[in-house]
Structure 1
Amino acid sequence: MTTTPQTALTAMLGKAANDAGLLVIATEAGLDFNQKPTTRFRLGLPDDSGRTLLLELSEAFDFDKPELLPAMTTHLQEAAKRLRNPHPDAYVTVAGLPVSLDSFAWPFHRSTSGADTFIVHGTVHLANGQNSPLHAKVSASMTLTFAEIVPAAEQPYAETFIYNAIRKTLDYGQLELLKSGNRQPVPVTTRYYSRWQKKFFFTDTDDDTRMEFLALKAFWLSGVLGNSAPVWISDPRDAQYLNTTAEELQRMAGELEKQGLLQLHADYASGTPALMARATEYEAKLMKALEYTKPTFNEEMRAGHTNM
């Protein structure tokens, strides 16, 4: 990346990143979907691990306001925690898919099709440690009604719920991972949000589901992708996806440690040999989840038995 001249935004972001324990490795001038200027920040940790995350903001964006600064601060603090994961852009789904998410073109832009929605484009990859070519180009759409609850149409204020909506859409079998293909829709509507409780709802889970999720996360992200390096086990992004709290995830991780499946390192965890021995089970779960995302042809329609 080339370094852009110092601006009010780069100065603000540099200070906020430093306060969160991050370094701005580099900055670069960019353009959004409508060719308006953005600034792209490559963020890393002081330990020079080589792992980075990208933050892209509208060039004129001013987050140093009471209604915007807290969420930016939280986003950067959580980014610092994820950067200690072996693969900071990797996640798992409840259905059992390990995925990585990248190439998102922030901020949102208005739909060009005439629909009253805001759009952000990105890519989801199957992350099973085998350099799989399977991926999905996604077009996540946020309705105007939903946009009213989002403080700003910028990455730090939307990335978590967009990523979780993508995971939920995969769980529904409504995103197909392919070797190539057109963009697939990921609708983000008010069904994912309670105005009364002021919180997101994606997946109703119980303790068993959460423990299985954490075991899957440790298996794929630590064991398979990370060469057994620990991963952040109580990520609030996962907590939102599972409709729980980071504290509950930490408690569930403790239960898995008692079962001999996880080794805890504060709020990070790695899989034990007993967990990695479940490889056949988790690979079968992955294949089943992949199969579920494939569209099926209605055989009755093929035979002409239809009232359409």
Structure 2
Amino acid sequence: MPEKNGSKKIYVSLTGLPLTFDLKWPFHASTSGADWWVLHGTIRVESSNGLHALVAVNLSATIKEVMPSLDPKDGEGPVINALRKEIDRKQIEFVKSPKLLPVHFSSRHYNFKRNQFIFEKAADGQIATFLERKVYWQTRATGGDIWIADETEAQYLETTAHHLSEVAGQLAKQGLWRMERAYLTATDLLMSQSARFEADVKCALEELERKHVFERG
């Protein structure tokens, strides 16, 4: 279902970072002679002062074979989820200067026995926290109603869109949002918790920075 609140869509990482993805379609064959298809893009941390990551997604021939196409309608969700997984693994550094980072999208993101992509495996408690962050940051960015039965989010968390709606329904009973079908409208109770969500972002960014400072020596 399309969003009712405009085109800017916030994707939240499991670590709590509110992200936007600007992907420069289409994929193109690698010019280096490697067996990759490449897609460039920019990831932005929406609550920060200009922190971003310039990425080159290197999609392997193995993954290309299992995807219906490399068009946005088939590729956008898996690409965004692969990038979020790398962020969760602290493999992507956010900076204020241009620095292109190659990110491999390969067979480690796919379960061939189950014929499906694998990114994160979230328990219900993690899903609940994820939804709270998602609704908070999307509301802050655009306001309006938020469609929560999102297949990209379900794929990222290794669950179903139906289960996302079930967990959202449980949280609606706590007064965090109003729910009509799978559309959520945040209440003041949720939006008053800005300090908590900002602290999550601060903590996640500090952990990323510590990791990359250590690697730089």
1:265–1:226 Cα change, 3 Å: farther
| Corresponding residue number in structure 2 for 1:108 | 27
Q: Report sequence identity in percent.
A: 35
| Corresponding residue number in structure 2 for 1:149 | 66
CA deviations on 1:167-209 (whole Å, 9 max, x unpaired) are 1111111111211122112211112111221211110111111
| Corresponding residue number in structure 1 for 2:54 | 137
Higher relative contact order (CA 8 A, sep 6+): 2
Give 1:272 deviation, angstroms: 1.6
| Corresponding residue number in structure 2 for 1:245 | 160
Superposition pairs of residues 8-87 of structure 1, within 5 angstroms: 78=1, 81-82=2-3, 84-87=4-7
| Corresponding residue number in structure 2 for 1:225 | 141
Distance 1:154 1:225 in 2: 27
| Corresponding residue number in structure 1 for 2:41 | 122
1:124–1:205 Cα change, 3 Å: same
Distance 1:159 1:268 in 2: 22
* Structure 2 residue 104 is matched with structure 1 residue 184: no
**Candidates 175, 187, 192, aligned match of 1:260:** 175
Letter in 1 for 2:63: F
Give 1:125 deviation, angstroms: 1.1
Kindly indicate whether the alpha-carbon contact (under 8 Å) linking 2:56 and 2:100 is maintained by their aligned counterparts in 1.
Answer: yes
Please give the root-mean-square deviation of Cα atoms over the aligned residues, in Å.
1.8
Give 1:267 deviation, angstroms: 1.1
* Structure 2 residue 57 is matched with structure 1 residue 170: no
Give 1:89 deviation, angstroms: 3.0
Kindly indicate whether the alpha-carbon contact (under 8 Å) linking 2:8 and 2:142 is maintained by their aligned counterparts in 1.
Answer: no
Kindly indicate whether the alpha-carbon contact (under 8 Å) linking 2:39 and 2:58 is maintained by their aligned counterparts in 1.
Answer: yes
In the alignment, structure 2 segments of 5+ residues that lack a partner are none
Kindly indicate whether the alpha-carbon contact (under 8 Å) linking 2:9 and 2:138 is maintained by their aligned counterparts in 1.
Answer: no
**Candidates 98, 108, 113, aligned match of 2:18:** 98
Q: TM-score scaled by structure 2?
A: 0.92
CA deviations on 1:233-272 (whole Å, 9 max, x unpaired) are 1111100000000000000000100111121132111222
**Larger CA Rg, structure 1 vs 2:** 1
Distance 1:235 1:279 in 2: 24
Letter in 1 for 2:207: Y
Q: TM-score scaled by structure 1?
A: 0.66
Letter in 2 for 1:107: P
Kindly indicate whether the alpha-carbon contact (under 8 Å) linking 2:148 and 2:164 is maintained by their aligned counterparts in 1.
Answer: yes
CA deviations on 1:139-173 (whole Å, 9 max, x unpaired) are 11111111111122222221110011111111111
Distance 1:145 1:235 in 2: 26
Distance 1:133 1:87 in 2: 20
Distance 1:288 1:114 in 2: 40
CA deviations on 1:62-96 (whole Å, 9 max, x unpaired) are xxxxxxxxxxxxxxxx5xx13x2344432111110
Kindly indicate whether the alpha-carbon contact (under 8 Å) linking 1:85 and 1:232 is maintained by their aligned counterparts in 2.
Answer: no
Letter in 1 for 2:150: D
Letter in 1 for 2:128: M
| Corresponding residue number in structure 2 for 1:203 | 120
Distance 2:38 2:5 in 1: 29
| Corresponding residue number in structure 1 for 2:75 | 158
| Corresponding residue number in structure 2 for 1:284 | 199
Size of the aligned set, in residue pairs, is 215
